[in-house]
Structures are given as C-alpha cells and as structure tokens.
Amino acid sequence: MSNLIEIKVPDIGGHDNVDIIEVFVKVGDTVAVEESLIALETDKATMEVPSTHAGVIKEVKVAVGGKVSEGSLLVILEVAASAAATPAAAPSPAAAAPATQAAPVAGSHSGAADYECEMVVLGGGPGGYSAAFRSADLGMKTIVVERFSKLGGVCLNVGCIPSKALLHNAAVIDEVKHLAANGIKFGEPEVDIDALRGFKEKVIGKLTTGLAGMAKARKVEFVRGIGRFIDPHHLEVQITTGEGKEVTGETKIIKFQKAIIAAGSSVFKLPFVPNDPRVVDSTGALELKSVPKRMLILGGGIIGLEMGTVYSTLGARLDVVEMLDGLMQGADRDLVKVWEKWNAHRFDNIMLKTKTVALEAKEDGIWATFEGENAPKEPQCYDLVLHATGRVPNGGKVGAENAGVIVTDRGFIPVDKQMRTNVPHIFAIGDLVGQPMLAHKAVHEAHVAAENAADHKAFFDARVIPGVAYTDPEVAWVGVTEDEAKKNGINYGKGVFPWAASGRAIANGRDEGFTKLIFDQDTKQIIGGAIVGPHAGDMIGEICLAIEMGCDAVDIGKTIHPHPTMGESIGMAAEVFKGVCTDLPPQKKK
Ligand code: FAD
C-alpha cells in the first residue's frame, strides 16, 4: 500500500520569499530520506531542503527562479504507507560550519588607504591568480596581494609543476633503461644535476612569466607583501622584497569592497625535526642540491612518493615510514599493489604502521629512531630525510578574525557552496577551505567565488574531484573507490580491464596496470573509477566527465575510443561490466 504526502519547506531560520536556485528532482524520481530536493539562497547562505521521506516524486510544485517561505509546498511524494509518519528533517545548510561557530568581533579602520579596489585577492597561488583573473574579466577593479615576487603559489613554484618537471626526467631515464630488454642500450645516464635543476627553474620561469603577462593584460594590480585584514574592508600589507619574503618596513593599506582569501597552506612540521640542511620538506627536496646515498621519506603519501621516485631514479636508496597500514592512502589497495610491485626495487625498507619518534643530526648523517610494528631495532642513519607528513591551512595567519571571518581551530575557513565565508562580501578558496588540497579544486573554487562576488550566480557543486599520484606507474582515482563502496555497504558492481589484454600497453612494454570502473547496481550509473599505469592521470578526466554526466556503462562502452590507445581501456572496462567485452576471454553471462 502507498500514500501520497506533501513535502513542505521546514523552518528556514525565519527567512521569507527565499530564492529557489536549484531543483534537484523531477516527476518519477525516487528519493531517499535526507536527499536534497531544492537549493535555496538567502543573502547570507545557501541551503538545501532535504526530503523528509523516501518515495517517488509524483508532482513538483516549485521551479528555479521561484520563491518559497516556511510551509510552502515543494513536492507530492508517494511513500509506502508505513513510512508516512517519519518525523521531519531539518534543512542542511551548505554553510554548516559558519553557523556553528560564533563570528569573531571585527576590527575597525578609519585611516586613509593607499589603494582602493572592488576586489582584493589575498594570495597569488592557483586559487588566487585564477580568482583575480576571473574577477578582472568580470569587470571588477582587482588587486592581488602576494608575499613572494612571482604569482603561482605553491603549485607553480614549489609544488605541482617543478615536481612534474623532475618526474618527467626520471620517467624518461627509467623508460630508457627498460629498452635494454628490447635490445636498445644507451649505457648508464650521466646526470648533470645543476643542469637538471636549471631545466626545472626554466619551466617555472616560463609559467610564472606567463602569469605576470596575463595579470598585466587584465590590468590586475600586483601588490607584493604580506597581507593581513585589519577590518572587514581594509587589508594591511607589509611590503616585501628580494627572492623570499623579507619585509622592507613599508606598509600599505588597501580598501576593498569584496575580498577572496586564497592564502593556501604550509608544510606540517613534526616537533622533533632538527634544523639541518639534510632534513628537508618538499620545497627543500625540489631544490635538488645533491643526490643522497640513503634517503628516508617520512610519510607515505603522494608528495613523498613522487619526490622519492625522482631521487631514487637519480641513485638514492629509499626507506619510507608510514604510521598507517598502507602507502598512498585514499587509493584502492589493488592499484597500490601494482605500484608497489613495479617500485619494489627502489626501497630497502617500507615501514608501515611505524612512527618516527626522533631525528638526530650527527656528523655522519641524520639518525632516525622508529617505533611500531615494522620498526628496526636500532636507529638508522640517512644522508637525507624528507618530511612529507602533510600540509596545514594558512587560514589562521591572515588576520581573518579582524574582518569578522570565522576560522576553525585547525586553520580552515568555512565557506558555503558559493565559497562565501560567514561575512557575505568575503570569500575563501583553495587549500585553506578544506581537503583535498589540490590545485584543480582551488581553480574551480576561484571561479565560483569571483563570479558570485561579481553578482553572478555560481556554485561549487562538483560531484567528484580526482586524485593522481604522478609516480611510475601513475595512480589515478575519482569518485567512490571500491574500498569505500565495500565499507559503506554500497550496492556496487565493477568492470576491470587488465592492461595485459591491451594491445597498446603490450606494445609499450607497460602492461602492468589496469582500469577499473565502479557502477551503482541500482541506477547502473558510474560512481567511481581508477587507473594504474603510465599516463593514468591524463586519462582519469574521461571518468570524471562520465560521473558528472551521470553516464552508465552503455554510454561509456558504446563511445568509440581510438585504437590502439590506453584510453580504450575505459570503454572496455565498461564493456566488462556489461559482460560484452570481446577483448577478454568469454565472460559469465550477466
Ligand atoms: P597556494 O598555492 O599555497 O598559494 C597561496 C599563496 O598565498 C602563496 O603564494 C603564498 O605565498 C601566499 N600567501 C599566503 N599568505 C599570505 C599573506 N599573508 N600575504 C600575501 N601572500 C600570502 N596539487 C595538484 O593538484 N596536483 C599536483 O600534482 C600537486 N603536486 C604538489 C606537489 C607538491 C610538492 C606540493 C607541496 C603540493 C602539490 N599540490 C598538487 C598541491 C597544490 O600545490 C596546492 O593544492 C595548490 O597550490 C593550492 O592552491 P592555493 O591557491 O590554495 O594555495
């Protein structure tokens, strides 16, 4: 038996005539309890109104552009008779955090200003420069404040780009070595480390010069210095000079109408890490001063493993220590296993479930003491230690509280789906608003923030954000992982295409990888995917698009991919899920 019930707008904090900015459901849709029906926007926040019952939508009574108040009828839902009495759920504001923490008391500045602008962007990383460029493109007079001499932030200067410049060289060296098995021998590579460092610097220079040109072309003003809010409309900048962030003693005041905070993140440093040039973070490792004989990587995440790959190819022996039970957390274990097998030759010790508890700088090296399941009994000596145990947000370091902006204890700045902080004219983006700390997330958030600041309507509502380890082989994943699906009891199915059956992978001599797609068994839509193998990171974008578009296995499998390519493996994995793949032995009928 079933009943028809009315779902109405619950208490939405006393707001009346609130704009409907999105309707997530249509007639015939099946919705679960707590599933969002519509999104509303007040002048302070956006919020989603969830369904109080599970059922099938029979009528939708609202549309985008309409307005609702408490009690307005949203949908008519057909529910099982027994479910009709479920209690109402509260609306779930996207800006959950701002509502739960008291806003700090803002400062007040009544003095003069050296600059005036419609938009100030604090921080010139991928989030910051993208926000500044988009703001300027939308007609706002924009200033970007950056403490270093160049735009680009961590990503361009000491992150994504320099690491990939070095990884590319390492991959070519490794590839050439593999050619020996095909009868092509080049001999041992001679590495001029100064020239290699020079190449990396040239790559950075090319990109940062390009950014400076693009800023100029848009008339985005660059103010070089350390910025700090002094009230909700003024930023004080301590002007800096030189290569680093040395202050000159000069101070400038910027008066702004709107602001985007994009001050990024910093390396998390364990308390016992000594101040010694033989102990480096990722920035120090990228300086590539020399190649150690024995190197310890503290932390088995992506950054540590990428840098370890470079140093190992250049000749270092690696140890890695990781507190958790596996390297490259976040990726499915079957992918990581392939990477581990391919890279086993680089490592002397992979110490899982083990902690480093002391590092001592001595004349002959850095002595590390470990504790845990796989800890060596005696301290170990290393020529170089890379600490790569994570990054912390810079939200607490920019005087945000003087502008009345809430910052969490951990230094994150909470925002809603429009990237708005609790102060409506101040936005925040990038590493300092939350995980994952990735450049592509920062850039998308930047566009959303700038567009809202320019009074356009935009939302950060990406279904998925991909992650990639640019190791060799690369490991890339997006959406629901298989491990997560199992853990959360999702009714999933998978299609796995082993690269051992790919003509192109075999021709490349690299058939160790595989492509895996995860489907929701109820809707048959793709909800996740992962690839391990060379260029996995270049291919994962197709799976991202498929998830965003709500594709099912037929959509993907029937899309003609060029042959012979590794991209074909995505179509074939979908065919495997459907049981129609002819590039593998016959499958059991589904
Ligand atoms: P940032 O890039 O950190 O930029 C913030 C900027 O703000 C900095 O330039 C900083 O100097 C400036 N700033 C901070 N405080 C102030 C202040 N008070 N006044 C003035 N200026 C200030 N991500 C990927 O997506 N792909 C990768 O391959 C990848 N590889 C990485 C490799 C390494 C070694 C590292 C360390 C990171 C990597 N990342 C990668 C992460 C990526 O770099 C960050 O997610 C990204 O840079 C975040 O962008 P953002 O704009 O939020 O912050």
In this structure, the answer to whether residues 120 and 237 fall within a common structural domain is: yes
Instruction: Read off the pTM.
Output: 0.85
Q: Same domain for 499 and 559?
A: yes
Confidence of residue 24 (pLDDT cuts 50, 70, 90): confident
* Residue 49: inside a domain: yes
Tokens of 84: 């009709």
**The token pair that represents 494 in the structure block:** 């998978």
Residue 520 inside a domain? The answer is yes
Do 399 and 381 fall within a single domain? Answer: no
The confidence band for 296, taking pLDDT boundaries of 50, 70 and 90, is very high
**Could you tell me if 493 and 381 lie in one domain?**
no
- The yes-or-no verdict on residue 98 having pLDDT over 80 is no
Q: Using the mean position of ligand 1's atoms as its centre, give its distance from the Cα of residue 342 in Å.
A: 30
Per-residue burial over 231-259, b = 16 or more CB atoms within 10 Å of its CB, e = otherwise:
bbbbbbbbbbeeeeeeeeeeebbbbbebb
Name the nearest CA neighbour of 551 among 527, 531, 580, 576.
527
Residues 183 and 236 in one domain: yes
Mean pLDDT score, 447-468: 97
Residue 400 structure tokens: 């945000």
Give the other-Cβ count within 10 Å of 500's Cβ: 12
User: What pLDDT shows up at residue 93?
Assistant: 32
For residue 168, indicate whether it is catalytic: no
- 170: domain CATH number is 3.50.50.60
User: Of 109, 233, 444, 563, which is the active-site residue?
Assistant: 563
The pLDDT mean for the chain works out to 93
CA of 160 to the centre of ligand 1 (A): 9
- Are 129 and 225 in a shared domain? yes
Domain identity same for 230 and 257: yes
Q: Which of 25, 56, 79 marks a domain boundary?
A: 79
Of all protein residues, the one whose alpha carbon is nearest to atom 4 of ligand 1 is 125
According to the model, what pLDDT value does residue 33 have?
65
Helix axes 126-137, 439-453, angle to 10 degrees: 30
Which residues are 317's β-sheet partners? 294
Residue with the nearest Cα to atom 21 of ligand 1? Answer: 146
Distance CA 293, CA 314 (A): 10
Q: Which atom of ligand 1 has the smallest separation from the CA of 129?
A: 51
In sequence order, the β-bridge partners of residue 261 are 122, 428
Residues 214 and 357 both lie in one domain: no
Same domain, 205 and 243: yes
- Residue 76 marked as a ligand binder: no
Distance CA 387, CA 482 (A): 30
Tell whether 142 and 253 lie within a shared domain.
Answer: yes
Q: For position 564, which CATH number holds?
A: 3.30.390.30
Predicted confidence band at 516 (pLDDT cuts at 50, 70, 90)? very high
DSSP state of 89: P
- The reply to whether ipTM tops 0.90 is yes
* Contacts (Cβ under 8 Å, ≥6 apart) of 95: 45, 46, 47, 414, 415, 416, 417, 420, 422
In ligand 1, which atom is closest to the CA atom of 265?
A: 3
43: pLDDT confidence band, cut at 50, 70 and 90? Answer: low
Domain encompassing residue 123: 115-266+393-454
**How many angstroms separate the alpha carbon of residue 337 from the centre of ligand 1?**
30
Q: Which of 1-5, 283-287, 348-352 has the lowest mean pLDDT?
A: 1-5
Same domain, 402 and 493: no
- 140 and 214 assigned to the same domain: yes
358-386 confidence digits (pLDDT tens): 999 999 999 999 999 999 999 999 999 99
Asked if pLDDT for residue 86 goes beyond 70, the answer is no
Closest residue CA from atom 33 of ligand 1 = 159
Across the chain, how many H-helices and E-strands are there? 14, 30
Is residue 98 in some structural domain?
A: no
Number of the ligand 1 atom closest to the C-alpha atom of 145:
20
Domain count of the fold of the chain: 4
Tell me which residue has its CA closest to atom 3 in ligand 1: 264
CATH number for the domain spanning 56: value is 2.40.50.100
CA-nearest residue for atom 41, ligand 1, is 438
Q: Alpha-carbon distance 334 to 532, whole Å?
A: 9
> What pLDDT is stored for residue 589 in this prediction?
64
Mutate to test the pocket of ligand 1, among 122, 143, 154, 386 (most ligand atoms within 8 A of CB): 154
- Residues having CB closer than 6 A to ligand 1 are 122-128, 145-148, 153-155, 159-160, 163, 226-227, 262-265, 282, 303, 394, 398, 430-431, 437-440, 442, 470
Residue 419 to residue 401: CA distance in whole angstroms:
17
Q: Which two tokens stand for residue 312?
A: 């190992």
